[in-house]
A and B are shown apart, each in its own frame.
Chain A
Amino acid sequence: MKYMIMTFGSAEEGVKAMGRDWMREMVAFMHRLDKDLRESGELVDEQGLADGSQAKTVRFENGIPVATDGPFAESKESLVGYWIVDVENEERAIEIASRIVAFVKAPIEVRRVMDAPPDF
Chain B
Amino acid sequence: MQSNIEDLLRELAPQVLGALVRRSGQFDASEDAVQEALLAAARQWPNEGMPDNPRSWLLTVASRRLTDQLRSETARRRREETAAALELPVQSEASAHDDTLTLLFLCCHPSLSAPSQLALTLRAVGGLTTAEIARAFLVPEATMAQRISRAKERIRNAGASFAPPPSSERHERLRVVLHVLYLVFNEGYTASSGPELGRADLTTEAIRLSRMLYQLVPEEGEAAGLLALMLLTDARRAARSTAEGWIVPLEEQRRELWNTDQIQEGVALLTHTLGKVPVGPYQLQAAIAAVHDEAPTAQDTDWPQILALYEVLERIAPSAVVTLNRAVAVAMVNGPLAGLALLGTLDGDERMVHNHRLEAVRAHMLERAGELTAARGSYRKAARMTASIPEQRYLAMKAARLS
Contact of A41 among B147, B289, B387 (CB under 8 A): B147
In the complex the two chains form, is B146's CB within 8 Å of A116's CB? no
In the complex the two chains form, is A88's CB within 8 Å of B150's CB? no
Cβ proximity bits B53-81 to A, threshold 8 Å, 1 near / 0 not: 00000000000000000000000000000
Whether, in the assembled complex, B233 has its beta carbon less than 8 Å from a beta carbon of chain A, the answer is yes
For window 68-96 of A, CB contacts with B under 8 Å fall at: 86-88
In the complex the two chains form, is B116's CB within 8 Å of A41's CB? yes
Prevailing SS type, chain B contact patch? helix
Which residues of B have CB within 8 Å of A86?
A: 115, 137, 139, 143
Interface size on B, residues (CB 8 A): 36
Whether, in the assembled complex, B11 has its beta carbon less than 8 Å from a beta carbon of chain A, the answer is no
Contact of A117 among B150, B187, B360 (CB under 8 A): B187
For window 359-397 of B, CB contacts with A under 8 Å fall at: 360, 386-392, 394
| Complex Cα–Cα for A114 and B150 (A) | 26
In the complex the two chains form, is B190's CB within 8 Å of A116's CB? yes
| Complex Cα–Cα for A10 and B144 (A) | 33
Which residues of B have CB within 8 Å of A112?
A: 387
Interface size on A, residues (CB 8 A): 22
Whether, in the assembled complex, B2 has its beta carbon less than 8 Å from a beta carbon of chain A, the answer is no
Which residues of B have CB within 8 Å of A39?
A: 146, 150
Cβ proximity bits A105-120 to B, threshold 8 Å, 1 near / 0 not: 0000000111111111
Contact of B386 among A41, A42, A113, A116 (CB under 8 A): A116
For window 107-123 of B, CB contacts with A under 8 Å fall at: 113-116, 119
Cβ proximity bits B17-31 to A, threshold 8 Å, 1 near / 0 not: 000000000000000
| Complex Cα–Cα for A96 and B186 (A) | 26
Contact of B387 among A40, A42, A114 (CB under 8 A): A114
- A113: nearest residue on chain B (CB-CB)? B387
In the complex the two chains form, is A117's CB within 8 Å of B143's CB? no
Whether, in the assembled complex, B140 has its beta carbon less than 8 Å from a beta carbon of chain A, the answer is yes
In the complex the two chains form, is A40's CB within 8 Å of B146's CB? yes
- B146: nearest residue on chain A (CB-CB)? A41
In the complex the two chains form, is B388's CB within 8 Å of A116's CB? yes
- Chain A to chain B contacts (Cβ below 8 Å), 8 pairs: A40-B147, A41-B145, A45-B140, A114-B386, A115-B387, A116-B386, A116-B387, A120-B233
